[in-house]
Amino acid sequence: MEDPSNAVLPDNRRESLMTAVNVSQGGLYIKSLPTGKENELYRISIDLPNPGAKVTAFGEVVWSDGGGGGVHFLAIHEEQESHLKDFVHSSVNVAH
């Protein structure tokens, strides 16, 4: 799969710092999504707490509630997906 971090984007792109409240292997919830229009595409860069673990992916807004929105990952490099999977699994608390 193509590495999203190497993609060429249109000149009208903007960078925004946003807060991801909930991250999973399939996507994330972004608090205060700038426009939050469904079907809008984003190139997302996530710095994980593991040293050197950074995830870059393409995502599409699948829902918005005015205060944020759900973004589904469309493309993510296989190695970075592995870092994300490790992060998600290490962050899950299993109750017994």
- What are the domain boundaries of the chain? 4-91
Sort 68 into a burial class: Cβ within 10 Å, 0-12 / 13-18 / 19+: buried
Per-residue model confidence (pLDDT) at position 87: 84
Cα 21 vs. chain centroid, distance in angstroms? 11
Mean pLDDT of the chain: 78
pTM above 0.75, yes or no: no
| 55 beta partners | 46
Close Cβ partners of 26 (under 8 Å, ≥ 6 residues apart):
72, 73
What does the pLDDT look like over 25-61, one tens digit per residue?
Answer: 899 888 877 666 788 888 988 888 877 778 889 999 9
Q: For domain 4-91, give the CATH number.
A: 2.40.10.220
